[in-house]
Amino acid sequence: MATEDQLREQIVLLGRSLYDRGLAHGSAGNISVRLADGWLMSPTSSCLGRLDPARLSRLDANGRLLAGDAPSKETFLHQAMYGQRADCGAVVHLHSVHAVAVSCLDGLDAANVFAPITAYAVMQVGRLALVPYYPPGDLALADAVRAVAARHHSVLLANHGPVVAGTSLDAAVNAIEELEQTARLTLLLHGHRTRPLTAAQVAELERRFPG
């Protein structure tokens, strides 16, 4: 079990990695990790590429700020995920370009945004839920995520971006990177005759690699 200091360092390291590879920009995106008695959260308006481990928001089990800078305005959204998923150890939200582009498309399947184009999309992203547009930080956005979070660890906020829950921060980051990659592939394949995995192939992956 990692110590709080180690988790702080991990948030900084992975935030910088996401930023350095163009998956985060400006002050967009936020990261949280569950502790035994609360959460660590990236501060509001912070850049994921330049987080300071000592200034991360330290929240208690009720979400109240104990130490550090003021937390992300999406704290309630993260807590909606934790509240619905007992195995959730971390949540990552990004405004990564291709996932945001897909979130702006009309006519998406709100229960399963992506066609099952690759095995890793099925294994790590699973069935991506779409929730309607609300302004960032709006409590209605957290409510919309809460309504689907028990059935979906990956959620796409319409005209905004992806949110992914993982058992660990590594798992959440890997899954949101796979989501971004799947969004990119989906856009690249648009207009091309595509052969997605069959329902039987998807069921086999779900059996072998239960999420």
8 Å CB contact between 162 and 94: yes
The residues in 86-115 that bind ligand 13P, with binding defined as CB under 6 A, are 93, 95
Minimum CB separation of residue 163 from ligand 13P in Å reads 9
* Cross-strand bridge partners of residue 57: 41
**10, 32, 57, 72: which one contacts ligand 13P (CB under 6 A)?**
72
- Do strands 57-60 and 65-67 pair parallel, antiparallel, or not at all (unpaired)? antiparallel
- For the record, the structure tokens of 123 come out as 């294994």
Please indicate whether residue 19 is annotated as part of the active site: no
- For the record, the structure tokens of 59 come out as 């929240």
Q: Residue count at the site for ligand 13P (CB under 6 A)?
A: 13
Residue 84 contacts ligand 13P per CB under 6 A: no
Minimum CB separation of residue 188 from ligand 13P in Å reads 25
Residue 136 contacts ligand 13P per CB under 6 A: yes
Minimum CB separation of residue 106 from ligand 13P in Å reads 22
DSSP helix/strand/coil, 91: strand
Burial class (CB in 10 A: 0-12, 13-18, 19+), 28: middle
9, 19, 82, 120: which one is catalytic?
Answer: 120
8 Å CB contact between 99 and 161: yes
Please indicate whether residue 120 is annotated as part of the active site: yes
Residue 178 contacts ligand 13P per CB under 6 A: no
19, 74, 177, 180: which one is catalytic?
Answer: 74
**29, 38, 116, 162: which one contacts ligand 13P (CB under 6 A)?**
29
- Do strands 90-93 and 161-166 pair parallel, antiparallel, or not at all (unpaired)? antiparallel
> What does the alpha-carbon distance between residue 10 and residue 16 come to, in Å, rounded to a whole number?
10
Q: Supply the residues annotated as catalytic.
A: 74, 120
**Contact residues for ligand 13P, defined by CB under 6 A:** 27-30, 42, 44-45, 72-74, 93, 95, 136
